[in-house]
Structure 1
Amino acid sequence: MTQPTHIRVHQFAGLQPGPRFLVTGAVHGNEVHGTKAMAEIIRQLDAGELTLLCGTLTFVPIVNPLAHQLNRREGDRNLNRNLRPPAVVHDFEDRIARVLCPLLAQHDGLLDLHSFQGNGPAFAMIGPRNNHGDLEPFSQEATESALAARLGVSRIVEGWLSTYALGLERRQQRAHDGSRRATLISDPHYGVGTTEYMRSTGGWAITLECGQHLDPNGPEVARLAILRSLVFLGMLHESAVEPHRPAQPPELLQLYDVIDREDMGDTFERDWSSFDAIENGQRIGTRASGQAVLAPSEGRIVFPSTKSQPGTEWFYLARPSDRKLG
């Protein structure tokens, strides 16, 4: 199979100045709700059914064409981890990073469209609160919060990078075999993906998980989110899309821990879905050794993965957040 040699980028440059907005899909190759949504919006813009009022709108419908060609999450490795311009190119995802990282830096904001393995409704992930810390300094909390509340989801999650840093600290304490894969997954930069890199350049970024991979409603969730983002940014007239009018405010959750799979013999106690409730002390799974994996507190399980490999994230834990969206 011939490896792809390019990434397709669609750009609409408004004749009036405005925001520089980037939308990405298929960062993981088998997550295509955003890919389909962008195709429809590109068609509408070309047909004159939608009018770009200002700014620059950039679409990358398939960020990882190798993974997409193989219909799987990764090509050679997970593009949405350890994302940075490589000093030395080791794999296909490094080649993408050489193009993607400068593209991210050229924009003010990012909407990154994904989907997930288990069942459950769409949700958004946002960055940290404003801070001057070393891990992820940030000053655009207000923009991310306000936009996330308008995307049409009933749940918003924060705390990704700080949680990942905790997991990496534990991961680095375990011995590894010296392989490139083992080196990558224990690298302090491993938690950085598209949104984290975007924030590191001064921009804002939101991940929208549009539903289960094969959810027939996923492309429409993605399409409405793109249009609502454009209206929020003043790049489309407000009549272009029905605004999101929730019956109640979205639920806000904060990730606080990530648990790695240690062995392929590690098994879940039941068929978990993201955001299933867990009780303090409840058995979540069992290690290959027979050791029980118990919930440390009441909360939710997030991104449980039966397909995770040893040394990588098996599931996350979340609890209610006290964040205010404004």
Structure 2
Amino acid sequence: MLRVHAFCALEPGPRLLVLGGVHGDETCGSMAIERLRAELDGGMHALRRGQLTLVPVANPLARRKGTREGERNLNRNFRPSPAGQPAADYETRITDLLCPLIDRHEVLLDLHSFESDGEAFAMIGPRDNRGALEPFARAREEGRLARQLGTPRVVEGWLDIYAEGLAQRAAAGETLPDDAIDFGRGTNEYMRSRGGYGVTLECGQHRDPDAPEVGYRAILAVLRLLAMIDAPPDEPPAPHPQVLRLAGVVLRHDAQDRFVRDWATFDPVRCGDLIGIRAGGEEVRAACDGHIVFPNDRALAGAEWFYYARASERVLD
């Protein structure tokens, strides 16, 4: 069962969807959403215009198991099943419920957390473009939304770097299906494909006690930005976050590949710094000056081990 809470104001306005618990072991978004839902029910906040839909736990099976996935990653290959074709697994059945829900909205805030230590950050999509990978025309609105979330950093370039990872796997001899790139498409990519825009907020490390507060304050910030609730009269302007672009991905070749230290997301590195050692003794060194993102010492062989990010010239309005 998927639990959905809908709030509709009498005045027309934006249609905002907030998701939590896309991954079962990421509980901060669920906690933030439940807190806001209770406050709306109790009259602490009033929806002035538009529609707000809250989904505290988007993947109930993974939540019951306390794991990232139920049967597979819900935030990959996110698209409805072809007409007349039965869903292949639990997450596909959930996707078939969530896609029509996303279709009815124009803005998406998807709340997550991550395994490694590190500060909260937001992830945004591409700049406006007419390319084949992810055409988009609402980058300014998306950037403005990300800026309001209050994180010190905003990261761009996800689908481009996912495509690079696929190219590495193909070069290593792996046979990939023709639609392999679709496995990199998640909730926000689907929202953009439907004419809307969305931001992923990584609220912090899974067990960070401050992560639920980060998510809660972000939801309120989005509601105020969209003029769906009243803003405090003395609300300070949002700070300008550092914008980074994913610039590379390194795959784990063997389960015995190891990091030389406990890396945290956004740890700085200089070109040539030693990051890890392959099972056969080969050194893995930083390819450029920048930052480590999503280091995962639990990654399976052939999966993404860590990413690089570098400073971006993109300006968020």
CA contact (8 A) 2:102 2:191 kept: yes
For the residues of structure 2 that align with 1:279 and 1:269, how far apart are their CA atoms? 15
- 4+ residue runs of structure 1 moved beyond 3 angstroms? 173-176, 240-246
Q: 1:188 aligns with which of 174, 178, 181?
A: 181
SS at match of 2:134: coil
Q: 2:149 aligns with which of 148, 151, 163?
A: 151
- Counting only pairs closer than 5 Å after superposition, residues 158-237 of structure 1 correspond to structure 2 as 158-176=156-174, 187-237=180-230
The match for 1:14 is: 9
For the residues of structure 1 that align with 2:186 and 2:26, how far apart are their CA atoms? 15
How far the C-alpha of 1:295 sits from its partner, in A, is 1.1
Letter in 1 for 2:119: P
For the residues of structure 1 that align with 2:253 and 2:74, how far apart are their CA atoms? 22
For the residues of structure 1 that align with 2:53 and 2:197, how far apart are their CA atoms? 15
Structure 1 63/318 Cα, relative in aligned 2: closer, same or farther at 3 Å?
A: same
How far the C-alpha of 1:183 sits from its partner, in A, is 6.0
For the residues of structure 2 that align with 1:94 and 1:241, how far apart are their CA atoms? 45
Letter in 1 for 2:229: L
- Which runs of 5 or more structure 1 residues have no equivalent in the other structure? 1-5
TM-score with structure 2 setting the length: 0.95
Task: Give me the CA root mean square deviation.
Answer: 1.7
Q: 2:274 aligns with which of 271, 283, 286?
A: 283
Letter in 1 for 2:39: Q
Is 1:307 matched with 2:307?
no
CA contact (8 A) 1:278 1:301 kept: yes
CA contact (8 A) 1:255 1:316 kept: yes
For the residues of structure 2 that align with 1:272 and 1:16, how far apart are their CA atoms? 48
Deviations 1:179-225, CA, capped at 9 Å, x for gaps: xxx869x8121110111111111110000010111111111111110
Is 1:97 matched with 2:90?
no
How far the C-alpha of 1:122 sits from its partner, in A, is 0.8
Q: 1:49 aligns with which of 36, 39, 44?
A: 44
Q: 2:249 aligns with which of 247, 254, 258?
A: 258
How far the C-alpha of 1:239 sits from its partner, in A, is 2.3
CA contact (8 A) 1:224 1:241 kept: no
For the residues of structure 2 that align with 1:283 and 1:101, how far apart are their CA atoms? 43
Is 1:110 matched with 2:103?
no
Deviations 1:38-94, CA, capped at 9 Å, x for gaps: 111111111111000011100111011111111111111111111111234221111
- Which runs of 5 or more structure 2 residues have no equivalent in the other structure? none
For the residues of structure 1 that align with 2:169 and 2:17, how far apart are their CA atoms? 33
SS at match of 1:195: helix
Is 1:325 matched with 2:311?
no
CA contact (8 A) 1:138 1:199 kept: yes
For the residues of structure 1 that align with 2:231 and 2:247, how far apart are their CA atoms? 37
For the residues of structure 1 that align with 2:238 and 2:100, how far apart are their CA atoms? 36
Deviations 1:126-180, CA, capped at 9 Å, x for gaps: 111111111111111111111111111111111111111111122233445x8xx
The match for 1:76 is: 71
SS at match of 2:232: helix
Deviations 1:223-274, CA, capped at 9 Å, x for gaps: 110001001011001129945543xx21110001111112111111111000
CA contact (8 A) 2:147 2:238 kept: no
For the residues of structure 2 that align with 1:240 and 1:209, how far apart are their CA atoms? 28
For the residues of structure 2 that align with 1:39 and 1:17, how far apart are their CA atoms? 24
SS at match of 1:190: helix
